[in-house]
Amino acid sequence: MKINLLMAVFLGWLASAQAQTTNSFPLWPEGAPGALGKEDKDIPTLTPYLPDPAKATGAAIVICPGGGYGGLAPHEGGQYARFLNEAGIAGFVLKYRLGSGGYRHPVMLQDAARAVRLVRARAGEWKVDPKRIGIMGSSAGGHLASTLLTHFDAGKPDAADPIERQSSRPDLGILCYAVITLGQFTHQGSMHNLLGKDPSPELVRDLSNELQVTKETPPCFVWATYEDNAVPVENSLQFAEALRKAGVPFDLHIYQKGQHGLGLGTRDWNPEQRHPWTRDCIFWLQAQGFAK
């Protein structure tokens, strides 16, 4: 009986997840700028995960999964979106173009900026507040999120495409064991996939995002673990220090335990088994007016 119940729960979750992912749509219906072809790898998409209307807060977060700019980790995409849905927040999982598909910067940033603009432009359709749209990323996805947090623009008021008229500035950021710097403490694989071989020192500096924080950078929730042996904790520490110097509000959490890529901390859906960052993040999101 217990096994049958567990199977029923799993099948119900699987059906829900499959129903959600069928909602994916391309960021550019007519084809993405700079596309190298028309295969799946050439088509950046967004997948909406909307909360129960009775719980919805009107806030939304674009989610950038990690994967070293060479892949996209599912547990840092859809699972995060469903976690946010529990707090009444709409999640939008971004499938951005990758170094493994032949792409290099600034294509990834272009995709992330377009995602934020798109959610803002269609806010009425999804019943979200265009002034409460954040971005979230893990590992290399955290680098992409931190890049947009420090390299946004106000949009082009005279653009023919109404989406491009929107600002790409997120209203807050959540950075999970993120690659931030391309300096001493970077993740070499992510850097190679993003920039290729022998990038210029100027480009490396421009995308070392701890060096690009200003007073205009949005508030951030930053967390990492001491045990992370893939992306050194200095990435998060340096970014938090830069936020502090610029006068940008932030939460910083360094947990002793937890290997790189831990996501929610559990592959099942038991909130009691999740990593403590999940509770700390919701507490912070409530203070930002994003979560109930």
225-268: per-residue pLDDT in tens? 999 999 999 999 999 999 999 999 999 999 999 999 999 998 77
Q: Is residue 179 part of a domain?
A: yes
CB atoms within 10 A of CB 84: 28
pLDDT for 30 equals 94
Please give the pLDDT value at position 292.
86
Q: Residue 147's Cα: distance from chain center in Å?
A: 11
Q: 148, 109 in Cβ contact below 8 A?
A: yes
What is the per-residue pLDDT across 186-203, written as a single tens digit (0 to 9) for each? 999 999 999 999 999 999
Task: Return phi, psi of residue 140, to 5°.
Answer: -65, -30
Please give the structure tokens belonging to residue 184: 């001493």
Residue 292, domain member (yes or no) = no
Q: Quote the percentage of the chain above a pLDDT of 70.
A: 92
CA dihedral (6, 11, 12, 17) in degrees, to 10, reads: 130
Provide the pLDDT confidence category of residue 18 given band limits of 50, 70 and 90.
Answer: very low
Q: What is the distance, to the nearest Å, from the Cα of residue 103 to the centroid of all Cα atoms in its chain?
A: 19
Listed in sequence order, the residues at least 6 apart from 159 whose beta carbon sits closer than 8 Å to its beta carbon are 165
For residue 26, is it within any domain? yes
Rounded to a whole number of angstroms, the distance between the first and last alpha carbons of the chain is: 36
CB 146, CB 213: distance < 8 Å? no
Say which CATH number the domain at 122 has: 3.40.50.1820
Q: Is 76 helix (H, G, I), strand (E, B) or coil?
A: helix
21 three-class SS:
helix
Q: Could you read off the pLDDT of 135-155 as tens digits, one per residue?
A: 999 999 999 999 999 999 999
Whether residue 13 has pLDDT greater than 60: no
Supply the pLDDT for residue 104.
98
Give every CB contact of residue 191 below 8 A, 6+ residues apart in sequence: 179, 182, 199, 204
Flag whether 281 is in a domain: yes
Structurally, how many domains does the chain consist of? 1
Asked whether 120 and 114 are in contact (CB, 8 A), the reply is no
Give the list of residues 6+ apart from residue 259 with CB closer than 8 angstroms, or none.
225, 227, 228, 229
Encode pLDDT of 200-222 as tens digits. Answer: 999 999 999 999 999 999 999 99
Instruction: Tell me the mean pLDDT in the region 78-85.
Output: 97
Residue 4 pLDDT greater than 70, yes or no: no
The reply to whether 249 falls in a domain is yes
Residue 7 has pLDDT above 50, yes or no: no
Note whether residue 52 is domain-resident: yes
Residue 70 belongs to some domain of the structure? yes
What average pLDDT does the structure give for the chain?
A: 93
The verdict on residue 140 lying in a domain is: yes
- pLDDT at 15 exceeding the cut of 90: no
**Average pLDDT of 147-167?**
98
Domain region containing 124:
2-287
pLDDT tens digit string along 43-65? 999 999 999 999 999 999 999 99
pLDDT tens-digit map of 99-140: 999 999 999 999 999 999 999 999 999 999 999 999 999 999
